Structure 1
Amino acid sequence: MNEPDRGLGWKYDLPSPNTEASIDSITTVPPRVLSDMNENYLELSRATLKLRGGWIVIGVVISIMFLTGPVSLFGHFPLKPNLAGLKELFLDIFFHAFFFLLLAPSIRMDLGFPKNEPIRFNRQRRKVYFYQFRFNLLNPFGKKNWGVKPVAYDWDDLTLEAYRIYAPMGYGGLKEEVKISICKPGTHEVIDRVFFTDDIEQGEHCWAIVRLFMQQGPEALRDVLPHSSNGDEIPTPNPAVKAVFRNPFDHLAPEVQWPAEMDLESRTAPTPGKQSNDNNFCRPN
Protein backbone atom coordinates (compact mmCIF):
# COMPACT_ATOMS: atom_id res chain seq x y z
CA MET A 1 0.00 0.00 0.00
CA ASN A 2 1.59 3.24 -1.19
CA GLU A 3 -0.87 5.75 0.23
CA PRO A 4 -2.97 5.91 3.43
CA ASP A 5 -6.62 4.96 3.13
CA ARG A 6 -9.01 7.89 2.91
CA GLY A 7 -12.67 7.91 3.95
CA LEU A 8 -15.74 8.41 1.80
CA GLY A 9 -15.93 11.95 0.43
CA TRP A 10 -12.19 12.75 0.72
CA LYS A 11 -11.14 15.58 -1.60
CA TYR A 12 -7.59 16.56 -0.72
CA ASP A 13 -5.05 16.87 2.08
CA LEU A 14 -4.22 20.22 3.65
CA PRO A 15 -0.54 21.33 3.84
CA SER A 16 1.66 19.04 5.90
CA PRO A 17 2.56 20.11 9.48
CA ASN A 18 5.95 21.51 8.52
CA THR A 19 4.87 23.34 5.36
CA GLU A 20 5.76 27.00 5.87
CA ALA A 21 2.87 29.15 7.10
CA SER A 22 2.48 32.91 6.94
CA ILE A 23 0.25 35.50 8.56
CA ASP A 24 -1.04 36.44 5.10
CA SER A 25 -2.78 33.07 4.77
CA ILE A 26 -5.04 33.88 7.75
CA THR A 27 -7.70 36.06 6.13
CA THR A 28 -10.47 35.30 8.65
CA VAL A 29 -10.52 34.20 12.27
CA PRO A 30 -13.12 31.56 13.17
CA PRO A 31 -15.08 32.47 16.32
CA ARG A 32 -14.22 30.68 19.56
CA VAL A 33 -11.21 29.05 17.93
CA LEU A 34 -8.66 29.89 20.65
CA SER A 35 -9.02 28.63 24.22
CA ASP A 36 -5.54 29.36 25.52
CA MET A 37 -2.04 30.18 24.32
CA ASN A 38 1.38 30.79 25.80
CA GLU A 39 5.01 30.13 24.93
CA ASN A 40 4.56 26.36 25.24
CA TYR A 41 1.20 25.46 23.78
CA LEU A 42 -1.86 26.59 21.87
CA GLU A 43 -5.29 25.15 22.64
CA LEU A 44 -8.15 25.05 20.15
CA SER A 45 -11.77 24.21 20.99
CA ARG A 46 -13.83 21.79 18.96
CA ALA A 47 -17.58 21.36 19.04
CA THR A 48 -18.36 17.94 17.61
CA LEU A 49 -21.95 18.06 18.86
CA LYS A 50 -23.62 21.10 17.29
CA LEU A 51 -27.14 21.01 18.73
CA ARG A 52 -27.07 19.47 22.19
CA GLY A 53 -30.32 18.28 23.72
CA GLY A 54 -32.34 17.64 20.57
CA TRP A 55 -32.18 13.87 20.86
CA ILE A 56 -32.94 14.04 24.58
CA VAL A 57 -36.18 15.89 23.86
CA ILE A 58 -37.11 13.41 21.13
CA GLY A 59 -36.29 10.52 23.46
CA VAL A 60 -38.47 11.94 26.22
CA VAL A 61 -41.38 12.35 23.80
CA ILE A 62 -41.02 8.76 22.59
CA SER A 63 -40.76 7.52 26.20
CA ILE A 64 -43.99 9.32 27.09
CA MET A 65 -45.66 7.80 24.06
CA PHE A 66 -44.35 4.39 25.08
CA LEU A 67 -45.78 4.76 28.58
CA THR A 68 -49.12 6.23 27.60
CA GLY A 69 -49.74 4.17 24.47
CA PRO A 70 -50.54 0.85 26.19
CA VAL A 71 -52.74 2.62 28.73
CA SER A 72 -54.81 4.19 26.01
CA LEU A 73 -55.14 0.86 24.23
CA PHE A 74 -56.26 -0.97 27.36
CA GLY A 75 -58.76 1.81 27.88
CA HIS A 76 -60.58 0.53 24.83
CA PHE A 77 -60.65 -3.01 26.26
CA PRO A 78 -61.03 -2.64 30.01
CA LEU A 79 -62.26 -6.19 30.77
CA LYS A 80 -61.52 -8.63 27.97
CA PRO A 81 -59.18 -7.23 25.33
CA ASN A 82 -59.82 -8.99 22.02
CA LEU A 83 -57.15 -10.39 19.72
CA ALA A 84 -57.10 -7.33 17.50
CA GLY A 85 -56.56 -5.09 20.51
CA LEU A 86 -53.69 -7.23 21.82
CA LYS A 87 -52.07 -7.21 18.39
CA GLU A 88 -52.32 -3.43 18.25
CA LEU A 89 -50.85 -3.21 21.76
CA PHE A 90 -47.92 -5.45 20.81
CA LEU A 91 -47.19 -3.42 17.68
CA ASP A 92 -47.36 -0.20 19.70
CA ILE A 93 -44.82 -1.49 22.24
CA PHE A 94 -42.56 -2.88 19.52
CA PHE A 95 -42.69 0.36 17.51
CA HIS A 96 -41.74 2.63 20.40
CA ALA A 97 -39.10 0.27 21.78
CA PHE A 98 -37.54 0.00 18.31
CA PHE A 99 -37.30 3.75 17.89
CA PHE A 100 -35.99 4.17 21.42
CA LEU A 101 -33.14 1.74 20.63
CA LEU A 102 -32.38 3.70 17.47
CA LEU A 103 -32.23 6.93 19.46
CA ALA A 104 -30.23 5.47 22.37
CA PRO A 105 -26.75 6.23 20.90
CA SER A 106 -27.71 9.83 20.09
CA ILE A 107 -29.24 10.35 23.53
CA ARG A 108 -26.10 8.99 25.17
CA MET A 109 -23.96 11.33 23.08
CA ASP A 110 -26.18 14.25 24.11
CA LEU A 111 -25.57 13.37 27.77
CA GLY A 112 -21.92 12.38 27.51
CA PHE A 113 -20.23 14.78 25.10
CA PRO A 114 -18.09 17.27 27.05
CA LYS A 115 -18.60 21.01 26.72
CA ASN A 116 -15.85 20.99 24.11
CA GLU A 117 -13.09 18.68 22.91
CA PRO A 118 -9.92 20.78 23.01
CA ILE A 119 -6.72 20.04 21.16
CA ARG A 120 -3.40 21.20 22.62
CA PHE A 121 -0.47 21.80 20.29
CA ASN A 122 2.78 21.84 22.30
CA ARG A 123 5.54 23.46 20.23
CA GLN A 124 8.28 22.70 22.77
CA ARG A 125 7.59 18.96 22.79
CA ARG A 126 6.31 18.88 19.19
CA LYS A 127 3.34 16.82 20.31
CA VAL A 128 -0.43 17.17 19.98
CA TYR A 129 -2.90 16.23 22.74
CA PHE A 130 -6.50 15.40 21.91
CA TYR A 131 -9.31 15.49 24.48
CA GLN A 132 -11.25 12.93 22.50
CA PHE A 133 -14.76 11.60 23.13
CA ARG A 134 -15.21 8.10 21.71
CA PHE A 135 -18.51 6.44 20.91
CA ASN A 136 -19.85 3.30 19.26
CA LEU A 137 -23.24 3.66 17.60
CA LEU A 138 -23.59 -0.12 17.29
CA ASN A 139 -23.18 -0.66 21.03
CA PRO A 140 -25.02 2.19 22.78
CA PHE A 141 -25.00 0.46 26.18
CA GLY A 142 -21.34 -0.59 26.27
CA LYS A 143 -18.52 0.97 28.29
CA LYS A 144 -15.30 0.07 26.48
CA ASN A 145 -15.76 2.31 23.43
CA TRP A 146 -17.61 5.16 25.13
CA GLY A 147 -16.38 8.20 27.00
CA VAL A 148 -13.49 10.67 26.98
CA LYS A 149 -10.22 8.96 26.06
CA PRO A 150 -7.43 11.56 25.68
CA VAL A 151 -4.55 10.63 23.39
CA ALA A 152 -1.26 12.20 22.31
CA TYR A 153 0.56 12.00 18.97
CA ASP A 154 3.71 13.43 17.43
CA TRP A 155 3.24 16.65 15.48
CA ASP A 156 5.01 15.26 12.42
CA ASP A 157 2.59 12.33 12.13
CA LEU A 158 -0.53 14.45 11.56
CA THR A 159 -2.36 14.68 8.23
CA LEU A 160 -5.29 17.07 7.72
CA GLU A 161 -7.95 15.71 5.34
CA ALA A 162 -10.73 17.70 3.67
CA TYR A 163 -14.03 15.89 3.06
CA ARG A 164 -17.09 16.96 1.09
CA ILE A 165 -20.17 14.77 0.71
CA TYR A 166 -23.42 15.49 -1.12
CA ALA A 167 -26.41 13.74 0.42
CA PRO A 168 -30.18 14.20 -0.06
CA MET A 169 -30.73 15.64 3.40
CA GLY A 170 -30.51 19.07 5.10
CA TYR A 171 -28.20 22.00 4.39
CA GLY A 172 -28.76 21.67 0.66
CA GLY A 173 -27.31 18.17 0.70
CA LEU A 174 -23.72 19.35 1.28
CA LYS A 175 -21.66 18.25 4.26
CA GLU A 176 -18.09 19.45 4.76
CA GLU A 177 -15.57 18.32 7.32
CA VAL A 178 -11.87 18.41 8.07
CA LYS A 179 -10.40 15.43 9.91
CA ILE A 180 -7.01 14.70 11.39
CA SER A 181 -5.55 11.29 10.60
CA ILE A 182 -2.51 9.70 12.21
CA CYS A 183 -0.48 6.92 10.64
CA LYS A 184 1.59 4.33 12.42
CA PRO A 185 5.19 5.65 12.36
CA GLY A 186 7.06 4.44 9.30
CA THR A 187 3.91 3.10 7.61
CA HIS A 188 0.77 4.26 5.80
CA GLU A 189 -1.53 2.44 8.24
CA VAL A 190 -4.05 4.91 9.68
CA ILE A 191 -4.33 4.19 13.42
CA ASP A 192 -6.67 7.05 14.33
CA ARG A 193 -8.84 9.65 12.67
CA VAL A 194 -10.51 12.48 14.63
CA PHE A 195 -12.76 15.45 13.92
CA PHE A 196 -11.19 18.89 13.43
CA THR A 197 -13.79 21.28 11.94
CA ASP A 198 -17.14 20.99 10.15
CA ASP A 199 -16.21 23.50 7.45
CA ILE A 200 -13.31 23.19 5.01
CA GLU A 201 -12.56 26.92 4.83
CA GLN A 202 -12.58 27.20 8.62
CA GLY A 203 -10.37 24.12 8.83
CA GLU A 204 -7.82 25.67 6.47
CA HIS A 205 -7.67 28.88 8.53
CA CYS A 206 -7.40 26.98 11.83
CA TRP A 207 -4.66 24.79 10.41
CA ALA A 208 -2.75 27.85 9.17
CA ILE A 209 -3.02 29.34 12.69
CA VAL A 210 -1.70 26.15 14.26
CA ARG A 211 1.20 25.79 11.83
CA LEU A 212 2.18 29.43 12.32
CA PHE A 213 2.22 28.94 16.09
CA MET A 214 4.24 25.73 15.89
CA GLN A 215 6.75 27.31 13.50
CA GLN A 216 7.11 30.86 14.86
CA GLY A 217 5.52 30.91 18.32
CA PRO A 218 2.72 32.95 19.92
CA GLU A 219 4.11 36.35 19.00
CA ALA A 220 3.21 35.68 15.37
CA LEU A 221 -0.48 35.46 16.35
CA ARG A 222 -0.94 38.22 18.92
CA ASP A 223 -2.51 40.69 16.51
CA VAL A 224 -4.85 38.36 14.62
CA LEU A 225 -6.56 36.16 17.18
CA PRO A 226 -9.46 37.22 19.42
CA HIS A 227 -9.32 35.72 22.87
CA SER A 228 -11.64 35.33 25.83
CA SER A 229 -10.94 33.79 29.22
CA ASN A 230 -14.67 33.29 29.78
CA GLY A 231 -15.75 29.89 28.43
CA ASP A 232 -19.34 31.08 28.10
CA GLU A 233 -18.40 33.89 25.73
CA ILE A 234 -17.76 33.53 22.03
CA PRO A 235 -14.85 35.77 20.98
CA THR A 236 -15.41 37.60 17.72
CA PRO A 237 -13.21 39.88 15.60
CA ASN A 238 -15.46 42.74 16.76
CA PRO A 239 -14.83 43.24 20.52
CA ALA A 240 -18.10 45.15 20.84
CA VAL A 241 -20.07 42.04 19.98
CA LYS A 242 -20.41 39.33 22.61
CA ALA A 243 -22.61 36.26 22.34
CA VAL A 244 -23.31 33.65 24.99
CA PHE A 245 -24.62 30.13 24.79
CA ARG A 246 -28.39 30.20 24.63
CA ASN A 247 -29.00 26.45 24.61
CA PRO A 248 -29.68 25.41 28.23
CA PHE A 249 -28.33 21.91 27.54
CA ASP A 250 -24.89 23.41 26.87
CA HIS A 251 -24.64 24.42 30.52
CA LEU A 252 -25.33 20.82 31.58
CA ALA A 253 -22.50 19.38 29.49
CA PRO A 254 -19.62 17.70 31.38
CA GLU A 255 -16.67 19.99 32.01
CA VAL A 256 -13.29 19.29 30.46
CA GLN A 257 -11.04 17.40 32.89
CA TRP A 258 -7.67 16.40 31.48
CA PRO A 259 -5.85 13.51 33.19
CA ALA A 260 -3.41 15.14 35.62
CA GLU A 261 -0.25 13.74 34.02
CA MET A 262 -1.31 14.63 30.48
CA ASP A 263 -2.55 18.05 31.59
CA LEU A 264 0.87 18.89 33.04
CA GLU A 265 2.84 17.53 30.12
CA SER A 266 0.67 19.20 27.47
CA ARG A 267 1.10 22.65 29.08
CA THR A 268 4.83 22.56 29.80
CA ALA A 269 8.18 22.32 28.06
CA PRO A 270 10.36 19.23 28.50
CA THR A 271 13.03 19.23 31.18
CA PRO A 272 16.41 20.20 29.70
CA GLY A 273 18.35 17.11 28.70
CA LYS A 274 15.22 14.94 28.65
CA GLN A 275 13.48 13.72 25.51
CA SER A 276 10.16 15.43 24.78
CA ASN A 277 8.40 12.13 24.11
CA ASP A 278 9.34 10.27 27.29
CA ASN A 279 5.70 9.81 28.28
CA ASN A 280 3.82 7.49 25.95
CA PHE A 281 0.11 7.88 26.55
CA CYS A 282 -2.30 5.15 25.53
CA ARG A 283 -3.62 5.18 22.01
CA PRO A 284 -7.21 4.17 21.24
CA ASN A 285 -7.97 0.47 20.94
Structure 2
Amino acid sequence: MAAAIWTITLGLRMDISPPRDEPIRFNRARQRIYAYNFNYRWWNPFERWRVIPVAYDWSQVRAERWKKRGATAQGALIIKWGVVLSIVEPGTNKVIDRFPLSTMGADEFAWAYICTYMQQGPSALPPPGPPRDHNNVPWYNLALRLAPKVKWPADMDRESRTAP
Protein backbone atom coordinates (compact mmCIF):
# COMPACT_ATOMS: atom_id res chain seq x y z
CA MET A 1 0.00 0.00 0.00
CA ALA A 2 2.81 2.45 0.88
CA ALA A 3 4.55 1.70 -2.42
CA ALA A 4 1.35 2.43 -4.33
CA ILE A 5 0.88 5.78 -2.54
CA TRP A 6 4.52 6.69 -3.21
CA THR A 7 4.19 5.74 -6.91
CA ILE A 8 0.96 7.72 -7.40
CA THR A 9 2.37 10.75 -5.58
CA LEU A 10 5.58 10.62 -7.61
CA GLY A 11 3.64 10.31 -10.87
CA LEU A 12 1.46 13.30 -10.08
CA ARG A 13 4.43 15.40 -8.96
CA MET A 14 6.41 14.52 -12.09
CA ASP A 15 3.48 15.67 -14.25
CA ILE A 16 2.47 18.95 -12.59
CA SER A 17 5.49 20.19 -10.59
CA PRO A 18 8.01 21.02 -13.31
CA PRO A 19 7.50 24.47 -14.84
CA ARG A 20 5.91 24.78 -18.27
CA ASP A 21 9.36 25.35 -19.75
CA GLU A 22 12.94 25.81 -18.61
CA PRO A 23 14.12 28.75 -20.73
CA ILE A 24 17.72 29.84 -21.09
CA ARG A 25 18.65 33.44 -21.89
CA PHE A 26 21.91 34.56 -23.46
CA ASN A 27 22.94 38.19 -22.90
CA ARG A 28 25.73 39.08 -25.30
CA ALA A 29 26.27 42.60 -23.90
CA ARG A 30 26.89 41.26 -20.38
CA GLN A 31 28.52 38.00 -21.60
CA ARG A 32 26.22 36.10 -19.23
CA ILE A 33 23.83 33.19 -19.44
CA TYR A 34 20.62 32.94 -17.38
CA ALA A 35 18.85 29.63 -16.78
CA TYR A 36 15.48 28.80 -15.28
CA ASN A 37 16.83 25.74 -13.49
CA PHE A 38 14.33 23.21 -12.08
CA ASN A 39 15.71 21.00 -9.29
CA TYR A 40 14.01 17.87 -8.03
CA ARG A 41 14.76 14.52 -6.47
CA TRP A 42 12.76 11.77 -8.19
CA TRP A 43 13.10 9.47 -5.19
CA ASN A 44 11.48 11.95 -2.76
CA PRO A 45 8.08 13.16 -4.01
CA PHE A 46 7.29 14.72 -0.61
CA GLU A 47 10.19 17.20 -0.75
CA ARG A 48 9.57 20.68 -2.16
CA TRP A 49 10.75 20.80 -5.76
CA ARG A 50 11.61 24.30 -6.91
CA VAL A 51 12.95 26.50 -9.66
CA ILE A 52 16.28 28.14 -8.96
CA PRO A 53 17.06 30.86 -11.52
CA VAL A 54 20.83 31.04 -12.00
CA ALA A 55 23.26 33.31 -13.87
CA TYR A 56 26.79 32.45 -15.01
CA ASP A 57 29.54 34.09 -17.02
CA TRP A 58 29.74 32.93 -20.63
CA SER A 59 33.38 31.90 -20.08
CA GLN A 60 32.19 29.18 -17.68
CA VAL A 61 29.83 27.48 -20.19
CA ARG A 62 30.67 24.22 -21.97
CA ALA A 63 28.43 22.01 -24.08
CA GLU A 64 28.30 18.23 -23.71
CA ARG A 65 26.57 15.82 -26.08
CA TRP A 66 24.96 12.74 -24.55
CA LYS A 67 23.37 9.59 -25.87
CA LYS A 68 21.48 6.86 -24.02
CA ARG A 69 20.43 3.49 -25.32
CA GLY A 70 17.76 1.40 -23.74
CA ALA A 71 15.24 -1.28 -24.49
CA THR A 72 11.52 -1.55 -23.87
CA ALA A 73 9.80 -4.56 -22.36
CA GLN A 74 8.84 -5.57 -25.90
CA GLY A 75 12.49 -5.60 -26.94
CA ALA A 76 12.49 -2.42 -29.03
CA LEU A 77 15.66 -0.34 -28.96
CA ILE A 78 15.25 3.25 -27.80
CA ILE A 79 17.98 5.80 -28.39
CA LYS A 80 17.81 9.29 -26.87
CA TRP A 81 20.30 12.08 -27.37
CA GLY A 82 20.75 15.71 -26.52
CA VAL A 83 23.04 18.50 -25.40
CA VAL A 84 23.51 19.78 -21.86
CA LEU A 85 25.20 23.02 -20.90
CA SER A 86 27.77 22.45 -18.19
CA ILE A 87 29.01 25.24 -15.98
CA VAL A 88 32.60 24.89 -14.77
CA GLU A 89 34.45 26.59 -11.93
CA PRO A 90 36.55 29.45 -13.30
CA GLY A 91 40.02 28.28 -14.32
CA THR A 92 39.13 24.57 -14.02
CA ASN A 93 37.05 21.93 -15.76
CA LYS A 94 35.18 20.96 -12.58
CA VAL A 95 31.45 20.96 -13.40
CA ILE A 96 29.34 22.83 -10.81
CA ASP A 97 25.98 22.86 -12.62
CA ARG A 98 24.24 21.38 -15.65
CA PHE A 99 21.00 22.06 -17.46
CA PRO A 100 19.52 20.80 -20.73
CA LEU A 101 19.92 22.75 -23.94
CA SER A 102 18.05 20.29 -26.14
CA THR A 103 16.75 16.76 -26.21
CA MET A 104 16.18 14.93 -29.48
CA GLY A 105 16.40 18.31 -31.21
CA ALA A 106 18.86 20.55 -32.97
CA ASP A 107 21.79 19.55 -30.73
CA GLU A 108 25.13 20.78 -32.03
CA PHE A 109 23.41 23.16 -34.47
CA ALA A 110 21.74 25.00 -31.59
CA TRP A 111 25.10 25.21 -29.79
CA ALA A 112 26.83 26.55 -32.93
CA TYR A 113 24.09 29.19 -33.32
CA ILE A 114 24.46 30.26 -29.69
CA CYS A 115 28.27 30.45 -29.90
CA THR A 116 28.08 32.55 -33.07
CA TYR A 117 25.59 34.90 -31.41
CA MET A 118 27.66 35.30 -28.23
CA GLN A 119 30.96 35.80 -30.11
CA GLN A 120 29.96 37.73 -33.23
CA GLY A 121 26.53 39.14 -32.55
CA PRO A 122 23.15 38.86 -34.23
CA SER A 123 24.37 40.33 -37.53
CA ALA A 124 26.38 37.13 -38.16
CA LEU A 125 23.22 34.99 -38.03
CA PRO A 126 20.08 34.52 -40.05
CA PRO A 127 17.15 36.33 -38.42
CA PRO A 128 15.49 34.31 -35.65
CA GLY A 129 11.88 33.29 -35.70
CA PRO A 130 9.30 35.15 -33.66
CA PRO A 131 9.83 35.02 -29.89
CA ARG A 132 7.96 32.28 -28.09
CA ASP A 133 5.90 32.71 -24.93
CA HIS A 134 7.07 29.95 -22.57
CA ASN A 135 3.70 29.95 -20.82
CA ASN A 136 1.71 29.35 -24.01
CA VAL A 137 0.90 25.62 -23.95
CA PRO A 138 -1.44 23.51 -26.10
CA TRP A 139 -5.03 23.36 -24.86
CA TYR A 140 -4.99 19.56 -24.85
CA ASN A 141 -1.94 19.17 -22.57
CA LEU A 142 -3.55 19.06 -19.12
CA ALA A 143 -0.27 18.40 -17.25
CA LEU A 144 1.36 21.53 -18.72
CA ARG A 145 -1.77 23.57 -18.03
CA LEU A 146 -1.53 22.59 -14.34
CA ALA A 147 2.24 23.18 -14.22
CA PRO A 148 3.60 26.43 -12.75
CA LYS A 149 4.11 29.29 -15.21
CA VAL A 150 7.57 30.58 -16.03
CA LYS A 151 8.19 33.67 -13.89
CA TRP A 152 11.69 35.09 -13.68
CA PRO A 153 12.65 37.11 -10.58
CA ALA A 154 12.18 40.80 -11.47
CA ASP A 155 15.84 41.82 -11.05
CA MET A 156 17.13 38.85 -13.07
CA ASP A 157 14.49 39.42 -15.76
CA ARG A 158 15.64 43.03 -16.15
CA GLU A 159 19.36 42.15 -16.06
CA SER A 160 19.02 39.35 -18.62
CA ARG A 161 17.26 41.65 -21.10
CA THR A 162 19.46 44.76 -20.83
CA ALA A 163 23.04 45.89 -21.45
CA PRO A 164 25.26 46.91 -18.50
Q: Does TM, scored on the shorter chain, surpass 0.5? A: yes
Shift in Å at residue 248 of structure 1? 3.2
For 1:251 and 1:141, the matched residues in 2 are separated by 22
Runs (5+) with no aligned partner, structure 1: 1-93, 234-243, 271-285
Higher strand share: 2
Could you say what the CA RMSD is over the residues aligned between the two structures, in angstroms?
Answer: 2.2
Identity rate, percent: 40
Structure 2 unmatched ranges of 5 or more: none
Displacement of 1:197 in angstroms is 0.9
What amino acid sits opposite 1:164 in the alignment?
K
Structure 1 residue 219, shift from structure 2 partner: 2.9
Q: CA deviation at 1:128?
A: 0.4
The letter of the residue matching 2:79 is L
* TM-score, normalised via structure 2 length: 0.85
Match of 1:158 in 2: 61
Mark the structure with the bigger radius of gyration: 1
In the alignment, which residue of structure 1 is the partner of 2:146?
252
Are 2:6 and 1:104 aligned? Answer: no
Contact 2:84 2:99 (8 Å CA) reproduced:
yes
Q: 1:228 to 1:196 in 2, by over 3 A?
A: closer
- 1:202 counterpart = 2:100: no
Per-residue Cα deviation, 1:167-221 (whole angstroms, up to 9, x for no partner) = 112873212121111111122321111112112x611111122112112222333
Q: Does 1:188 align with 2:93?
A: yes
Task: State the 1:245 CA deviation.
Answer: 5.3
Show the counterpart of 1:213. Answer: 117
Question: Which digits, 9 at most, give the CA deviation of each residue in 1:63-99, with x for residues without a partner?
Answer: xxxxxxxxxxxxxxxxxxxxxxxxxxxxxxx2xx313
- Residue 56 of structure 1 aligns with which residue? none
More helix by share: 1
The change in CA–CA distance for 1:230 and 1:268 in structure 2 (over 3 A counts) is closer
User: SS of the counterpart of 1:173?
Assistant: strand
Distance 1:230 1:155, change over 3 A: closer
SS, match of residue 130 in structure 1: strand
CA change 1:197–1:229 in 2 (3 A) is closer
